[in-house]
Amino acid sequence: MKTRFGICPMIVGCVATADPLRRYARRPPASCDMLEVRLDLIGADNGSWKERCAAIRDKGMPVLLTVRSAQEGGEWRGREAERLALYLAGMPYVSAIDLEINTRAFEKVAQTARRFGVRVVGSFHDFRGTPDVARLVAIEARGRRLGADVVKIATMVQSSGDLARVLALPAQFKKPVSILGMGPLGAVSRVALPCAGSCLVYGSLGAATAPGQLSCRTLARELKRWGVRN
């Protein structure tokens, strides 16, 4: 299976501090297919992050820019206008952005991204539990209407019923989705969901940036073992 990003599933390595970003600008890591730059965690006190993103991208590794809001588990607590300005400033330097579907300006940002040739991951996070399938299907449909190329749904797995729902979710959709189960009970889904059609799987390159996140190396090994990656 292929997506507009390339091979599927792609392992996305999460960068949460400035030092690895500086290091990967010189030599991208071999254990992932794409780098997610979590600017809400790294900080944007100077403009060097843009040049480092461009350097990584120019070395052949796609860069996904994320400035996650505190309302959906991130560390951005500043003004919304400033957060959106960071996305706009980063578009000439990255391959894709991740913006929450519930963001008021999502459609306008997605339209701007399209002009830059930047792909849009429309994301939804629930850190309390896993909503019912009907609500998740409605969230995916809304993300598509607003211009998402990939819809990402990450929910906390609190029970076997939650786990069953997230494992069945990729089959509900015809367009690219990234489904993630969070928490200890959701850890198994980090490997099972890419096998079921989830196109992006997120792994750590250092400390985990989400509950239940596995390392990129572990993901690569397990997905190879299950025959969904070379």
For residue 79, the model assigns a pLDDT of 96
6 sits in the region (left: phi over 0; alpha: psi -120 to 50; else beta) called left
143 located within any domain: no
Question: What is the Cα–Cα distance from 135 to 4, expressed in whole angstroms?
Answer: 26
Provide the annotated active-site residues: 125, 152
| Domain annotation covers residue 80 | yes
Which pLDDT does position 3 carry in this prediction? 40
Instruction: Please give the model's pTM, rounded to 2 decimal places.
Output: 0.94
Residue range 50-54: mean pLDDT, rounded:
97
Q: What is the separation, in whole angstroms, between the first and last Cα of the chain?
A: 13
Closest CA to 119 of 60, 175, 76, 62: 62
User: Residue 128 domain-assigned?
Assistant: no
For residues 55 and 103, what is the distance between their CA atoms, to the nearest angstrom? 29
Whole-number Å distance between alpha carbons of 150 and 174: 11
Domain that holds residue 90: 2-120+185-225
Q: pLDDT tens digits for 53-110?
A: 999 999 999 999 999 999 999 999 999 999 999 999 999 999 999 999 999 999 999 9
The confidence score (pLDDT) of residue 207 equals 79
Number of domains in the chain: 1
Answer whether residue 195 shows pLDDT above 80.
Answer: yes
The number of angstroms, rounded, from the C-alpha of 41 to the middle of its chain's C-alpha atoms is 14
pLDDT for residue 49: 96
Residue 206 is assigned to a structural domain of this protein:
yes
- Residues 109-151: tens digit of each pLDDT: 999 999 999 999 999 999 999 999 999 999 999 999 999 999 9
pLDDT of 212 over the 90 cut? no
Is there a domain that residue 54 lies in? yes
